[in-house]
Structure 1
Amino acid sequence: MVHVVVWECMGSGGFNPLIIKNEDEVNWTNLVWNNWSIPIHSMLAWIYHHKSLNTNGKLHKLGIRISNTCYICEAAIKTEEHLYFACEYSSRVITLMGSWLRVDLPMSDVLPWRLSRGSSKTRRNIINAVINACVYQIWHKHNTCKFEQKIVRPEKYVRLIIAEIRGKIMGLLNDKLREGDRKWIERALERNE
């Protein structure tokens, strides 16, 4: 059980507790919030895990008149499940990222997969950072298609994800890494796709 306190800022510069409640602790917070992930990627992954992305399917159910098809593939009703796991574009991005890491990334609900990985903590954190980046970039791609009507090949987004992750990893490399993790990271950093 986690105790959550929301603080209210007072005009005098002090703070008062506004809401105090107990919530069940979620088991995915460390998967989303870790040093290896880029903060904006973590934020969108957090929204995703809360099932709070405003997809066209959700907006359509609320009575907002908007196309409820996927802007990327123009096929199915756009839900989070479609956007991240059924859309051909997203599937291609996830497959390419898995190839880059030499890991089979999931093509369905990602949370149980993320919780069950048995490799080292460093590798799990990097894989989670890649998944967070995929969640962010796929959502970004959706919005680019929606607002700018631009279609960009999945390979371009994969190169962008790799460049972002490569920069983050390079900033966190240190002498404390296990030799096996260091070699795994170096092999991944040598590959472009």
Structure 2
Amino acid sequence: MKHHYTEEEMKRMMTFKTKVVYDKITEEEERVYWAKMIWNRLAMPKHRVICWLAIQGRLKTTDRLCQMGVTTDAQCNLCCEHTESHQHLFFQCSYVKRVLKYVFEWLGFKSRQDQLMSIMMMLNGRSRKSRVQKQIHAAIIKACVYYVWWARNEAQWNMVLWRLEKVYRIIRECTVMRINSVLPRKISSKDIAWWENVKSKVYSV
């Protein structure tokens, strides 16, 4: 209560009304536009968790590891150009941008957003795409985030830099397999045709 009301406001409150207090608290909370796009079953659970942590800036990137005293080198091991942070890794790193270029061209996805939050808000916003199509796009974006983090860990801890074409193929194969296995049977013929068309596209690298 004291975080939302001043002492003077408390004194002026003649009677305690739960609804008034609830409205006061919730109106001050930031609306999470991307939550529904994160927590849908078309994406693998581990992809959802890593994406959730990435959006909140809670992954242990090298800039944070330096602050913790775990390492002294904060350089991004994927591009070797800048300090690794959430803002850099998702999605300003040149390595990541090239992976996303392959994925977006496969999907015909024309987004030029360079931040994960913006992409999720865009998918959650109004568009001509159906709910199923938005969820499929979101599942693929989450796979991108997961496998970028996987590739980063390979470079950071195992000193292995995967070819970005290989990362793209893993994202594509993993998401197609997952979505095929959990896609609801009761979806429109239009969505079925759209998904079959997406699967049939092979973006050559």
TM-score range, shorter chain: 0.7 to 0.9
Shift of 1:107: 4.2
Q: Distance in 1 between matches of 2:57 and 2:184?
A: 36
Q: Distance in 1 between matches of 2:41 and 2:70?
A: 38
Aligned to 1:123: 133
Q: Contact 1:56/1:78 (CA < 8 Å) preserved in 2? A: yes
Aligned to 1:70: 76
Q: Distance in 2 between matches of 1:98 and 1:49?
A: 20
Q: For residues 33-76 of structure 1, what are the alpha-carbon distances to aligned partners after superposition, in whole Å with 9 as ceiling and x for unaligned?
A: 10111110001001111110111112223444421100111110
Percent identity of equivalent pairs: 25
Match of 2:157 among 138, 141, 147: 147
Query: Alpha carbons of 1:125 and 1:65: their partners in 2 closer, same or farther (altered >3 Å)?
Result: same
Match of 2:145 among 135, 148, 151: 135
Aligned with 2:90: secondary structure?
A: helix
| RMSD between superposed Cα atoms in Å | 1.9
Aligned to 2:87: 81
Aligned to 1:3: none
- Indicate whether 1:177 and 2:197 are aligned: no
Q: For residues 13-46 of structure 1, what are the alpha-carbon distances to aligned partners after superposition, in whole Å with 9 as ceiling and x for unaligned?
A: xxxxxxxxx8846332211110111110001001
Q: Distance in 1 between matches of 2:198 and 2:44?
A: 18
The structure with the greater share of residues assigned to strand is 1
Aligned with 2:77: secondary structure?
A: coil
- Indicate whether 1:48 and 2:58 are aligned: no
> Higher relative CO (CA 8 A, sep ≥ 6), structure 1 or 2?
2
Q: Distance in 1 between matches of 2:46 and 2:119?
A: 22
Q: Contact 2:99/2:168 (CA < 8 Å) preserved in 1? A: yes
Aligned to 2:117: 111
Q: Distance in 1 between matches of 2:115 and 2:161?
A: 26
Q: Distance in 1 between matches of 2:190 and 2:60?
A: 41
Query: Alpha carbons of 1:63 and 1:148: their partners in 2 closer, same or farther (altered >3 Å)?
Result: closer
Gaps of at least 5 residues in structure 2 are 1-24
Q: Contact 2:90/2:116 (CA < 8 Å) preserved in 1? A: no
Query: Which stretch of the first structure deviates more once superposed, 114-123 or 39-48?
Result: 114-123
Q: Contact 1:91/1:107 (CA < 8 Å) preserved in 2? A: no
Query: Which stretch of the first structure deviates more once superposed, 165-174 or 138-147?
Result: 165-174
Q: Distance in 2 between matches of 1:173 and 1:29?
A: 20
Query: Which stretch of the first structure deviates more once superposed, 76-85 or 165-174?
Result: 165-174
Q: Distance in 1 between matches of 2:157 and 2:68?
A: 21
Q: Distance in 1 between matches of 2:62 and 2:176?
A: 32
Q: Contact 2:78/2:155 (CA < 8 Å) preserved in 1? A: yes
* Counterpart residue identity of residue 94, structure 2: E
Aligned with 1:73: secondary structure?
A: coil
Aligned to 1:164: 174
Shift of 1:113: 2.9
Shift of 1:98: 0.7
- State how many pairs are aligned: 172
Aligned with 2:91: secondary structure?
A: helix
TM-score of the superposition, structure 2-length normalised? 0.77
